């Protein structure tokens, strides 16, 4: 009997366990992965993954490498081109008149601003042998005029050495306080030609009547004395009187020539001009006369030290 009861009890247990297992099988996902448990782990996992993707560990290092690459473009010009705006263009001689003149003014003004040292030879000469007077008393007038000329403009060359850094305003091109400001309408021509590694530029200034000290064509590149200043010097040096209104001064053949090296530095320069003064009703030692006095001028600059 005991064996029968034990067998029946075992059968009941087996059937009961089967029912329980069947019930659990139908609700497996709900039992082991309830909503509140699956949502939180997944959300945490996604947030952590995104954070790692947005801010990778080595990202700052990569950003710096990219910025370094952007700071050095492949086509960046050499340092010399960035720091030397005075270097002559390769096609300087083929440029138009206005462009060549702009470069000419720039390198002339560079001397004025940067003040290199140089040597200068100046020669101002009144051509006494070519003077003319209408008075029949020429034999009396000529010695008086020659005496005045020997004092104010003897015609002998003068030499000056200008130290580097010294104020050269009164020497190089005898520049006025203004800069070199030549314009196309002030000149008849400008040319540029190569000589080895250098450029030689030549400017010819238009003929000018009664030139003005500051605003005249020649004054835009070099110092000149106007008519009244010339008369003041002459009348102050001897027995001469003349009305400025009776004097006509003409400057012609004005030429400026400069040699520029590959760095845009002037290494040699020269300028020259002829002046002619025609006058009427002058008094020389009390003698009335008309006449003409010619004068020539030249300046040479060499041995520049930049």
Per-residue pLDDT tens for 175-210?
555 678 899 999 999 999 999 999 999 999 999 999
Q: Which of 26-35, 108-117, 199-208 has the highest mean pLDDT?
A: 199-208
Strands 240-241 and 266-284: antiparallel
Q: Tokens at residue 205, please?
A: 């200034």
The per-residue pLDDT of the chain, averaged, comes to 79
Query: How many Å apart are CA 217 and CA 186, to the nearest integer?
Result: 5
Region 25-47: what's the mean pLDDT?
44
pLDDT tier at 289, thresholds 50, 70, 90: very high
Region 36-62: what's the mean pLDDT?
48
- Quote the pLDDT of residue 229: 82
Beta strands in the chain (DSSP E): 117-126, 132-133, 158-162, 187-195, 198-205, 208-209, 240-241, 247-260, 266-284, 287-305
Tokens 């200043």 sit on residue: 229
Are 301 and 120 in contact, with CB atoms under 8 Å apart? yes
- Quote the pLDDT of residue 27: 45
Are 256 and 205 in contact, with CB atoms under 8 Å apart? yes
- Using alpha carbons only, give the angle 163, 164, 165 rounded to the nearest 5 degrees: 110
Per-residue pLDDT tens for 239-248?
999 999 999 9
Instruction: State the greatest distance between any 2 C-alpha atoms of the chain, in Å, as a whole number.
Output: 184
Q: What percent of the chain has pLDDT over 90?
A: 54
Tokens 């590149």 sit on residue: 221
Phi-psi category of 217—alpha, beta or left, where left has phi over 0 and alpha has psi -120 to 50?
alpha
Q: Tokens at residue 271, please?
A: 């300028």
Percentages helix, strand, coil for the chain (3-state, rounded to 5) are 40, 30, 30
- Quote the pLDDT of residue 73: 56
Q: What percent of the chain has pLDDT over 70?
A: 72
Which DSSP string corresponds to 14-42? HHHHHHHHHHHHHTHHHHHS-HHHHHHHH
Return the closest-CA partner of residue 293 out of 142, 94, 77, 102: 142
The model's pTM: 0.70
Burial degree of 53 (CB within 10 A; 0-12, 13-18, 19+): exposed
pLDDT exceeds cutoff 80 at 59:
no
Which DSSP string corresponds to 157-193? -EEEEEPTTS--TTTGGG--SSPP---GGGEEEEEEE
């Amino acid at each position: 009997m005991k064996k029968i009861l034990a067998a029946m009890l075992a059968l009941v247990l087996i059937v009961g366990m089967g029912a329980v297992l069947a019930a659990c099988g139908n609700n497996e996902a709900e039992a082991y992965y309830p909503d509140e448990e699956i949502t939180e782990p997944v959300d945490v996992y996604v947030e952590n993954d995104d954070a790692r993707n947005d801010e990778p560990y080595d990202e700052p290092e990569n950003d710096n490498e990219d910025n370094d690459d952007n700071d050095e473009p492949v086509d960046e010009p050499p340092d010399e081109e960035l720091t030397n705006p005075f270097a002559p263009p390769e096609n300087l001689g083929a440029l138009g008149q206005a462009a060549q003149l702009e470069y000419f003014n720039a390198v002339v003004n560079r001397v004025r601003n940067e003040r290199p040292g140089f040597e200068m030879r100046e020669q101002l000469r009144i051509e006494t042998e070519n003077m003319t007077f209408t008075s029949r008393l020429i034999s009396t007038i000529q010695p008086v005029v020659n005496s005045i000329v020997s004092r104010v403009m003897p015609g002998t060359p003068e030499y000056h050495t200008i130290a580097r850094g010294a104020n050269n305003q009164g020497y190089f091109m005898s520049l006025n306080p203004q800069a070199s400001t030549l314009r196309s309408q002030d000149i008849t021509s400008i040319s540029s030609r190569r000589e080895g590694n250098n450029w030689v530029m030549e400017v010819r200034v238009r003929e000018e009547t009664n030139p003005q000290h500051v605003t005249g064509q020649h004054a835009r590149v070099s110092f000149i004395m106007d008519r009244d200043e010339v008369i003041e010097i002459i009348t102050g040096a001897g027995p001469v009187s003349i009305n400025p209104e009776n004097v006509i001064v003409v400057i012609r053949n004005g030429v400026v020539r400069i040699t520029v090296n590959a760095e845009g530095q002037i290494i040699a320069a020269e300028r020259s001009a002829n002046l002619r003064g025609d006058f009427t009703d002058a008094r020389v030692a009390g003698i009335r006369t008309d006449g003409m006095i010619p004068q020539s001028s030249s300046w040479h600059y060499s041995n520049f030290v930049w």
